[in-house]
Structure 1
Amino acid sequence: MIWLTWRQFRVQALTAAGTAAAIAIYLVILGMQIRDSYDSDVAGCKSNCSSARQHFLGQYESQVILVSVVLVVVPALIGLFWGAPLITRELEAGTHRMVWNQSVTRTRWLTVKLAFIGLAAAVLIGLLSLLLTWAASPYDKVEGNRFGALSFISRNITPIGYALFAFILATAIGLLVRRTMPAMAITLGALAVIQIVVPFGLRPHFQSPVRETVAMSGDISQSPSINVGGTGVNVVDFSIPGAWVLDSENELFDSKGKQVTEDEIKDCSSGMNYTEEVACMAKKNLHFNVSYQPADRYWTFQWIELTGYLVLAGLLSFFCLKRIRHPLV
């Protein structure tokens, strides 16, 4: 049964292996370039280091984003071209009548295919994710945004669970729809929705966020931007090194807990340079509340999301194994 699965799967496997080898070579070259630039321009910086970091990020931003997108797209392609046709191909060609009437039961036939191809998907994405994590680690260290939607799903262990889930999900959809093209279309739509719901709807709530009150500082490097709106003054672009700040804007309050108005800070913007403005704002004892996920929760979130994808993949596998026992045509 394993030999039969390999015979049917070898073209896809060899194509994937060749593509993965090309991506791996590119990642090794990119990783060496990023490390050389980091060692010479960032780690060895002695003056104007902020500009050096920005130049370093700008130099490799497009390459890192491109490969990260590839690591998100490849699991979806595995689902589309490995999972969706797994059962529908047999049904459309009529070969299921011969395959499922041999000594090998339908359940065993599907179990071997899910295990064999699922393992191949996990190994493929695991290796690419490992290489991307290594290659981009200096970039990620400087950028400080490991919780970002694109970074999180393309680094470390989460991509492995996502790839397995995408493959099993597509197989289950194919089992229900029984036609390859509709199954591929539904799978693509479902994965697109998941890539919106999980990072923006579920991931921020894997653990209860930490909520703190932050005072406006006179330190320029720690001073966030101010946005004057119709209802009051808000803080924007506030960040905590390595953490995931969940609020895009935070209301600014005075010492009595009342939201600050434009008139109350007007004296800090007339005829002053930026350093003087920051110092003026700090003297007013202003503060804002911020919700965030601490940096030390990164690996906890990785394991939570990996586990979630593996559990869903297991449930879908169980459904497929139960469903295939019943007549499909």
Structure 2
Amino acid sequence: MIWLTWRQFRTQAFVAVAGLVVVGAYLVYLGLRIRHDYTAGIVNCLPSDCSTTRRTFSERYEGPVALAGALLIGVPGLIGIFWGAPLAARELETKTDRLVWNQSVTRVRWLAVKLAVLGAAAIAVTGAYSLLLTWSASRYDQFAGDRFAAMNFAARNVTPLGYAAFAFALGTVVGLLVRRTVASMAIVAGVFAVVQIVVPAVARDHLMPPVTTNVAFAADVMEHADGFGMNPTSAHLIGYTMPGTWPMQGVSQVYNADGTPYTAAQARECMKGEPAENMACTAEQNLHFSYTYQPGHRYWPFQWIETAAYTCLAALLTAFGLWWVRRRITLR
């Protein structure tokens, strides 16, 4: 059975290995470039040039790192579509299941061997890609301090392995139920895309209760925010992110030391023309704002929790598939 599975799977295996070699070579090249520029430009920059150097470094590598991450997020989906969905659906659609199941190999063993061999290959390919990307982008991630961002979180370390196991098991089960290869592939693509959107948008930030703290409005606060908004009765900070954390709010109202809202009239007192002077003046007003976030030290617990959740879903789908092929599929 293992030999037969390999014979059927070898073309996909060769394509996956060739793609991994090409992408891996690029990631090694990209990682070496990032490390060189990080050491030469960021670590050893002159104080007068650091702001420009940091901006240049960000602009140079933000796109390539994001593109590599998006590709990795898509790899489990492609595995589910092209490896999982046709696994049983093609056999059922072409009626070759009649030949296989009339031999000495039982249905459960037939499916179990295929799931074990191809599932291990799927996890291995995804794991190798994740390892390469995590290493390649590590210096950039350290610089950006945004490991909790949806695309960064899903394309680093161990969570892609859970996605791969889930996508492959999902594709196999859908193929067993639908019995049509193309239709199964389309359904898997849709379901996996919805899951990858819903989980980070709705579920991930609730895995652990967030922390709320008061942050002093220091002179460097605006370096980690997208903007500063005002209306007649209050002022608010837009898109503030404490380095290394995951913010749970997009807008933070600013308060005076006595807890009253900081107003636009007070803010205008510090508008003297130069941004640096304005921020220094604002910082001297002893302001603060409330910040709700997930601390940076929770990154690995979040990784393991999400990986375990997807792995459990994969195990449940696998168990259902084995039960279905034994009890509900009949020779036609």
1:58 aligns with 2:63: no
**Are the equivalent residues in 2 in contact too, given 1:217–1:223 (CA < 8 A)?**
no
Q: CA deviation at 1:292?
A: 0.9
Within 2, Cα distance between the matches of 1:39 and 1:207? 36
| Between 209-218 and 122-131, the greater mean CA deviation after superposition | 209-218
Q: In the alignment, which residue of structure 2 is the partner of 1:317?
A: 318
Taking the TM superposition and a 5 Å limit, the aligned residue runs for 1:238-317 are 238-269=240-271, 271-317=272-318
Q: In the alignment, which residue of structure 2 is the partner of 1:182?
A: 183
Q: In the alignment, which residue of structure 2 is the partner of 1:18?
A: 18
RMSD of aligned alpha carbons:
1.8
Amino acid at match of 2:279: V
Amino acid at match of 1:239: T
Q: CA deviation at 1:311?
A: 0.7
SS in 2 for 1:289: strand
Q: CA deviation at 1:233?
A: 1.8
- Number of aligned positions between the proteins: 328
Within 2, Cα distance between the matches of 1:46 and 1:279? 22
Q: Relative to 1, partners in 2 of residues 1:219 and 1:85: Cα closer, same or farther, differing over 3 Å?
A: closer
Amino acid at match of 1:233: A
1:103 aligns with 2:104: yes
Amino acid at match of 1:36: H
Amino acid at match of 1:21: V
**Are the equivalent residues in 1 in contact too, given 2:224–2:241 (CA < 8 A)?**
no
| Between 92-101 and 271-280, the greater mean CA deviation after superposition | 271-280
Q: Relative to 1, partners in 2 of residues 1:69 and 1:94: Cα closer, same or farther, differing over 3 Å?
A: same
Q: CA deviation at 1:231?
A: 6.7
Within 2, Cα distance between the matches of 1:151 and 1:219? 25
SS in 1 for 2:321: helix
Taking the TM superposition and a 5 Å limit, the aligned residue runs for 1:195-234 are 195-219=196-220, 224=225, 225-229=227-231, 232-234=234-236
Taking the TM superposition and a 5 Å limit, the aligned residue runs for 1:164-175 are 164-175=165-176
Q: Relative to 1, partners in 2 of residues 1:260 and 1:321: Cα closer, same or farther, differing over 3 Å?
A: same
Q: CA deviation at 1:146?
A: 0.8
TM-score where L is the length of structure 2: 0.93
TM-score where L is the length of structure 1: 0.94
**Are the equivalent residues in 1 in contact too, given 2:224–2:243 (CA < 8 A)?**
no
Unaligned runs of 5+ in 2: none
Within 2, Cα distance between the matches of 1:183 and 1:261? 57
Q: CA deviation at 1:327?
A: 3.7
Q: CA deviation at 1:219?
A: 4.5
Q: What is the aligned-residue identity percentage?
A: 47
Q: Relative to 1, partners in 2 of residues 1:268 and 1:170: Cα closer, same or farther, differing over 3 Å?
A: same
Q: CA deviation at 1:237?
A: 3.0
Q: CA deviation at 1:222?
A: 6.0
Amino acid at match of 1:198: V
Deviations 1:121-160 (A, max 9, x none): 0110111110111111111111111111111111111111
Q: In the alignment, which residue of structure 2 is the partner of 1:76?
A: 77
Deviations 1:261-306 (A, max 9, x none): 323423222x342233223323433321111111111111111111
Amino acid at match of 2:238: V
**Are the equivalent residues in 1 in contact too, given 2:80–2:170 (CA < 8 A)?**
yes
Q: In the alignment, which residue of structure 2 is the partner of 1:30?
A: 30
SS in 1 for 2:137: helix
Amino acid at match of 1:57: S
Q: Relative to 1, partners in 2 of residues 1:97 and 1:223: Cα closer, same or farther, differing over 3 Å?
A: closer
Match of 1:237 among 229, 236, 239: 239
Q: CA deviation at 1:11?
A: 0.9
**Are the equivalent residues in 1 in contact too, given 2:224–2:242 (CA < 8 A)?**
no
Amino acid at match of 1:240: M
4+ runs deviating over 4 angstroms:
219-224
